[in-house]
């Protein structure tokens, strides 16, 4: 009588298909690799979303900056006379000669008529840069969320703050923000930015 080994008979009958199956160890390794790949994909996606938000905030801040200073720059360039001092919507005081020409407000005269002017000033109550004109009780909000109180300076060609009302001086504008408006992004520890500011220097087109 011929006795055949059962395992040998099964292998001979079905071939070596049984050897192609995954073992438990192989399955565990495959699942671990798949989990690492998925984790990498999710991390890349989250990083992309964060970078998109950063870019969106930067673009929004740039648009706000251009809108905030475009009119100011245009009026400074076309001005006949510019004074740096302190003031609000109803009053203005020019900084005297001998003192550093830096203040919270600037008064711009488009002609020799001193009764016609435009005034930009920082309102310390609500931390906004506002624009007012002579003869008007209303004002226009140019920028908000501003932290510095002396954004306007009169400077020389090298950037040093002057102590007199020199005719060919350069007007410096520095606005420091604690929040970007569109989209709203807070600035400080744990947020997108540690510091955000807008700095420009403008001079008149025509100097006498």
State the DSSP code for 150: -
Which bin fits 33, alpha (ψ -120 to 50), beta or left (φ > 0)?
alpha
Beta strands in the chain (DSSP E): 81-87, 92-94, 102-103, 105-109, 118-123, 128-133, 140-144, 152-155, 170-177, 179-180, 185-186, 196-202
Model-wide pTM > 0.75: no
Show pLDDT as tens, one digit a residue, over the chain (208 residues). 555 555 555 555 555 555 567 788 888 888 889 999 999 899 888 888 777 766 766 666 666 667 668 889 999 999 999 999 999 988 899 999 899 999 999 999 998 888 899 999 999 888 889 999 987 778 888 888 788 899 999 998 888 999 888 778 899 999 887 766 555 566 566 665 556 788 889 988 876 6
């Amino acid at each position: 009588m011929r006795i055949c080994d059962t395992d040998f008979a099964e292998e001979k009958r079905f071939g070596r298909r049984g050897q192609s199956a995954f073992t438990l160890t192989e399955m565990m390794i495959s699942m671990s690799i798949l989990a690492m790949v998925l984790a990498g994909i999710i991390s890349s996606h989250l990083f992309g979303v964060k970078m998109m938000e950063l870019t969106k905030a930067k673009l929004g801040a740039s648009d706000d900056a251009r809108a905030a200073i475009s009119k100011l720059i245009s009026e400074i360039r076309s001005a006949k006379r510019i004074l740096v001092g302190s003031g609000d919507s109803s009053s203005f005081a020019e900084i005297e000669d001998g003192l550093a020409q830096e203040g919270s407000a600037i008064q711009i005269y488009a002609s020799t008529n001193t009764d016609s002017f435009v005034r930009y000033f920082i309102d310390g109550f609500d931390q906004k840069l506002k624009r007012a004109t002579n003869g008007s009780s209303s004002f226009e909000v140019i920028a908000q969320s501003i932290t510095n109180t002396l954004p306007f300076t009169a400077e020389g060609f090298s950037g040093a703050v002057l102590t007199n009302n020199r005719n060919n001086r350069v007007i410096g504008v520095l606005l420091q923000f604690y929040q970007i408006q569109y989209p709203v992004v807070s600035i400080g520890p744990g947020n997108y930015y540690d510091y955000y500011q807008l700095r420009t220097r403008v001079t008149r087109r025509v100097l006498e």
